[in-house]
Chain A
Amino acid sequence: MSRGTQERVRSNASKTMGIKLDGGINAISLNKDATQVVAAGRQVFKIFHIEEMGFRERIDLRVGRMNLNYSCNDVAWHPSKDELIATGATNGAVITWDLNKPQGNKMDQVFSDHKRTVHKVSFHPKEWYMLFSGSNDGSMKFFDLRSNKCETTYGNGQSECIRDVQCSPHQYFILAATLDNGHIQFWDYRVPDKVLLDFPGHNGPAFNLDWHPEESKWIATCGRDKIIKIWRWEGHGNVLEPEYTIYAIASVNHIKWRPEKKYHIASCSGVVDHTICVWDVRRSYMPFAVFEEHKDIVTGIAWRQDPHVFLSGSKDSMLFQHKFKDAKRPAESANPVGVSMSIYDDVCHAFNKSSARTSMQSQQNYASTNFPMRFRRTPEVSEQYERYESSLLVHEQKEVKFSESFIKSAKRYILTGKPFPELCEHNAQVAMDLGRHQIAQTWRMLRLFYCTDTASATPPVYTNKGIPPTEANDSDKDISAPQFALNHLPSHHDFLNPTASSAIDSTGVTDDNESIVSDSEHDHPSYGAPMRGKRRHRSHDGAVDFYFPLGEGEEEEEEEEEEEGGVFGRYGDEMQEWNDYAGLPTEAFGQRHEIQDRPPSPDRLQDRIRPESPVVPLLDLEPTAMTMNSQLFPSARSLNQTPSKQLPELQLSIKFTPIVVNMLSDYAEQGDVQMAVSAFIVLDSKIRNEISSEIQEQWFMSYIDLLSRFKLWCVSNQVIKLSKHPAIEILNQQSTTIYTKCNRCNQTLEKLSWVCCQKNRQSFTNPCSICHLPVKGLYAWCQGCSHGGHLEHIREWLKTNQYCPTGCGHQCEYT
């Protein structure tokens, strides 16, 4: 005990230090009181005094004529005799050295019994004359230093190379060995012809073993399988199960128990990893301390009879003494918690179970240490081991969900297809319903600024039942964007009289527009075309023809339309047109989709962004828009006829425009890009030129990204379409083609999806694989084997079967 205290004092004075030797070190060993160290390698064999400030060379044992006997693979200092050292050489020689020899060569005995490299020499801990060795030739030998002869050979017949052999410090007759095939053997050294226990402990070579210095039953082994295993051997002959397992990051070459710390063991690796790790065996994955001084693989570890100081030798020729306080503690830099927020504002939280439990009562403890995670160094604490385990919690946001109001707003906002004041009013009401009062007010203010309709300038009286419930929204959402369905919502006039006139009104409007609709239908392809594309094949012989030819010559027309028609009119038409198609389509093939190849070419940009001041477009666009309005909505007609009435209103809106721009930017800055983009789309030409194209792009892209995170593809597509920004519009014109192939001849179908033109000229192909009839409506198509059929049939089939109904052997998956 008193010696222990002295050791502590001495070690506290010592420090981390190193010395460079002439060559790579293969092994090190300490003398009995741990004041001297011998380092041995192929080119080096020296003894050093360990002093406070550094190593002092005591003797170089490489003297005289060099031969392979000096090329040491292992070295062992005798545990009680300070003058006796044994080495194992690469040529198979086991050599003893007598340091008391007066001059020159200290070599004492050379045993040449091994035929191959000797991996390990070790003394018996109690009997001074017993020296054991293990070699590549597959045998262990016992040398008696009294007679200087090899007395016994163990395991002579086996071919596997012996990596390590050590006597138990607690059981007098017991010897353990590890082999290249991963086996671990226990021997009684008196019985050379019978192994007590031989069992496979590792995958691949087992490199090293170490008996626990205090726990007599414990033995640790390590190997190339990157695992350190702690076994408890009771002396029986049954195969063992490891008590503890440690997973290192690389193959483990050496292990050494830490003195006085029951659960600690040091390890070093044979490849890649140049660090020395000290593990707590109860924590399998995280080293307790890491020493990073070496630049090459570490080959030897020796504790200085003190848990805080040890020496190590490495292939980088360095001999180091390590102080425990200079170690890195990976557990401290490893974070004990994880947190992530989902788009639905749910918070996932992982945290250390024990820290959460103790956090409250040990608050004051934390005040004194920066790192509550760390092991305390006092042995009392390290004995009380806490399991390192995390709890995982998902905190679900239950009340105020951003996502909810975002999704509802996105679905219910109407961005186009109605006169401006109605859009504003509707959107305001949507915001109101969702409890977003500020947004609602913003919408109403926008209407006030820009609306020339004096009737609507006076705020209508709102009732809470202003908006009818939107069942249409829900039932329709899988086939169409809900905005379309919401066209049936009452216009702002109806808010005064919410129950009566909505249906009549909206149908009336449709009728009014009939002529315009049919005109415009030819001029520019319809908004609802993609939807009709889907409907079309439902009605027509299972055709799945998604090939949209590019529109030619339509661009000019569209330009013209924009100039003269204004924006409301145009999209208004299209909306109405869509309404017409909401029932059964009247023709099998609809208009071609408005697809233009829109490269963001500079000339097109110039078309859009006018060089003049923003006032001009407002002045020349507004009247046409108003005329359009007045045609569409007779109620507004009388109010907007004369320019004299418009002028002050226009000036008002011009005056407000910078403020509105500011306000939209502000919404964007605050993270509400939805408001910014929605208002921008609704305001459209009133404000388009006031906001730089880059900012528009940024807003649109952000909003589209956000929509796609919530899987609001229809809304997203509508926004893309309404963006009128060349960089955004190209988004929905990428990869719009679906290629199909004949499921009989594997040829691609070029013109029509149900007729194979290749081999069997014009033959019908791709019927339903189950009922063999042509498919009208949705066709479920396996992308792997190109078989398929009626959605329902395929769904039914794959509920109970894994393989394709045609028997082609493909394992189809219905998702």
Chain B
Amino acid sequence: MFKAKSISAEHKDLIHDVAFDFYGQRMATCSSDQSVKVWDLGEDGEWHCTASWKTHSGSVWRVTWAHPEFGQVLASCSFDRTAVVWEEMVGDSKPNERGKHHWAQRAMLVDSRTSVSDVKFAPHHLGLQLATCSADGIVRIYEAPEVTNLATMNLQTELQTKLSCSCLSWNPSRVHPPMIAIGSDSSDPSGGGKVQIYEYKENERKWQKIDTLNVITEAVHDLAFSPNLGRSYHMLAVATKDVRIMTLKPMRRDQFVGSTRIEIRQAAQLVDFKQSQVWRVSWNVTGTILAASSDDGFVRLFKANYLDNWKCIQELKGSDGGPSPALVPSMTGGMHSRQDYPTHRGRNTSSSANQQQQQNGASATREQSNAPQGGRSRYPFMTL
């Protein structure tokens, strides 16, 4: 169950992006009013705005945090064709402004000729890298040669996607080669697939397009790789009119045939959005719950049950005050978790039961604790 807490954001125009930091205790918002605000979770459990400053001379589309090992670093991108890296300065706050933090401008990336629609830091094991994409279809990857000097970000690569780009996402996996997915909001369905996958080829030292998701021909507004957490495959959530969840399974080296190295499958198409567009998707920390927000003011949470069927488990209504109605009582997986033991089933279809318990239905948990302990006699293992 969720408790909604309203924050008076005081942005003067629409907020386009919100981002939690690595530890979930800071939050950044950006808006068309050209400013970025940083919110800190206080000891009292409330969010306090600790910084608000004008970042760009245009709408700020996205804001994103770097991994904390690089310091408290934000990047923002804007309609004014720039992306900027910001760093929080500690210690030099004026005495009368205690509690207000100063964010200093570091690198300013001015290569784009059109609106920069997304900016994302690479997973931290790749060092301090930053990817931007712009409305003219160019993806740029920058790297700071020294992580201590954020003012210098060198342009490493420019990728021509030939489609107006709206979003990008880094694959967070550290055991696989660096990978980026790029989405386009071009609404022309004849342009083919709107999501392109690029991978860094270590031996050629360059990025290469390895696939285009041809099943997605509508405008893509957002996409997000799920946290990897030891999975053998990657999950990519794509926000269009609906939400698609794609799995990308890297083939083993010995099966490497031709140019297709990843096997892409559409795991789910989530269509609970009525007539509205989905604009943003966000994964939880384990990649088991997907939040999707659409322009009807709802956030819907999705989760896979033990059969890998993704279902809406909750609808959060974005209204000021008022309880959020729990729409679907999230019991889809709860019943099964008692009956079926994971290894009995195939690899992909099994054992979401434990997670149902962990994260999802409170009611599921309650129900199970009432279940008789004698259930252990039903171990499928015993029959082996």
Residues of A within 8 A of B (CB): 226, 247-250, 272, 283-286, 330, 333-352, 355-357, 359, 363, 366-367, 370-373, 388-403, 405-406, 435-439, 441, 444-445, 459, 462, 655-656, 659, 662-663, 665-673, 675-677, 694-695, 697-699, 701-703, 706, 709-711, 784, 802, 811, 813
Contacts and interface: CB of A to CB of B under 8 A. Distances in A.
B368 A437 contact: yes
B27 A399 contact: no
B285 interface: yes
Nearest to A401: B359
Contacts of B283: 341
B296 interface: yes
A338 B343 contact: no
Interface of B: 1-9, 11-20, 22-24, 27, 29, 31-34, 47, 57-59, 61, 78-81, 90-91, 95, 115, 166, 173-175, 185, 221-222, 227-233, 274-277, 279-289, 291-299, 301, 316-320, 324, 337, 341-343, 347-348, 350-355, 357-362, 365, 368-369, 371, 373, 376, 379, 381, 384
Contact of A359 (B293, B296, B354): B296
B304 to A, nearest CB: 9
Contacts of A249: 57-58, 78-81
B175 A394 contact: no
A406 B294 CA distance: 30
Contacts of A403: 285
A675 B230 CA distance: 11
A226 B358 CA distance: 53
Given A437-B368, A438-B357, A702 B318 contact: no
B320 to A, nearest CB: 6
A393 B4 contact: yes
B357 A436 contact: yes
Nearest to B365: A435
B29 A338 contact: yes
A802 B281 CA distance: 44
A338 B18 contact: yes
Contacts of B276: 359, 366, 372
Given A341-B20, A343-B23, A395 B297 contact: no
Nearest to B22: A709
B280 A348 contact: no
B358 A405 contact: yes
A402 B59 contact: no
Contacts of A673: 229-230, 286
A391 B280 CA distance: 16
A366 B232 CA distance: 41
B328 to A, nearest CB: 15
Nearest to A810: B91
Given A247-B57, A345-B284, A391-B318, A670 B20 contact: no
Contacts of B33: 284-285
A250 B301 CA distance: 40
28 contacts: A249-B78, A249-B81, A284-B12, A285-B32, A286-B32, A337-B294, A338-B15, A338-B17, A345-B284, A348-B18, A349-B18, A356-B317, A373-B295, A388-B13, A388-B14, A389-B12, A390-B31, A392-B7, A392-B18, A394-B7, A437-B368, A437-B369, A444-B376, A669-B231, A669-B347, A695-B232, A698-B174, A698-B175
A463 to B, nearest CB: 11
A811 B368 contact: no
Nearest to B343: A663
B296 A462 contact: no
A366 B27 CA distance: 32
A349 B384 CA distance: 49
B318 A351 contact: yes
A78 B287 CA distance: 67
Contact of A286 (B23, B59, B297, B373): B59
Contacts of B59: 285-286, 330, 334
A695 B176 CA distance: 11
A813 to B, nearest CB: 5
Given A356-B319, A666-B347, A336 B80 contact: no
- Which of B231, B288, B354 has most A Cβ within 10 Å? B354
A396 B24 CA distance: 12
A672 B358 contact: yes
Contact of B24 (A346, A367, A393, A670): A346
Contacts of B5: 393-396
Given A341-B283, A350-B18, A395-B299, 17 more contacts: A283-B13, A330-B79, A337-B318, A341-B291, A343-B23, A349-B293, A349-B316, A373-B295, A393-B320, A401-B359, A402-B286, A435-B369, A438-B341, A655-B384, A668-B230, A669-B232, A672-B286
A199 to B, nearest CB: 24
B274 A363 contact: yes
Contacts of B365: 400, 435
A341 B358 contact: no
Contacts of A340: 18-20, 27, 280, 282, 291
Nearest to B318: A351
A38 B355 CA distance: 72
Contacts of A248: 57
A285 B34 contact: yes
A402 B359 contact: yes
A438 to B, nearest CB: 4
A285 B353 CA distance: 48
A388 B289 CA distance: 30
Given A345-B289, A813-B91, A659 B343 contact: yes
Contacts of A439: 354
A392 B6 contact: yes
B326 to A, nearest CB: 10
Contacts of A335: 16-17, 61, 221-222, 279-280, 295
Contacts of A695: 230, 232
Contacts of B317: 356
Q: Please name the 5 residue pairs, one residue from A and one from B, whose CB atoms are nearest each other, closest first.
A: A356-B297, A342-B24, A390-B15, A668-B230, A350-B15
B58 to A, nearest CB: 4
Contacts of A441: 376, 379
B175 A694 contact: yes
Contacts of B17: 335, 338, 350
A494 B65 CA distance: 49
Contact of A391 (B6, B31, B80): B6
B32 A339 contact: no
A333 B317 CA distance: 23
Contacts of A226: 57
A193 to B, nearest CB: 40
- Which of A391, A394, A403, A665 has most B Cβ within 10 Å? A394
A51 to B, nearest CB: 30
A694 B29 CA distance: 38
A699 B230 CA distance: 5
Contacts of A330: 59, 79, 115
A706 B229 CA distance: 8
B230 A347 contact: no
Nearest to B18: A338
Given A330-B79, A668-B231, A359 B297 contact: yes
Nearest to A784: B91
A347 B354 contact: no
A29 B190 CA distance: 40
Contacts of B81: 249, 272
A390 B33 CA distance: 11
A531 B11 CA distance: 48
A421 B275 CA distance: 56
Given A445-B381, A666-B350, A459 B287 contact: no
A401 B276 CA distance: 29
Contact of A811 (B91, B230, B342): B91
- Which of A340, A388, A406, A462 has most B Cβ within 10 Å? A340
B109 to A, nearest CB: 15
A339 B18 contact: yes
A406 to B, nearest CB: 8
A397 B289 CA distance: 13
Contacts of B115: 330
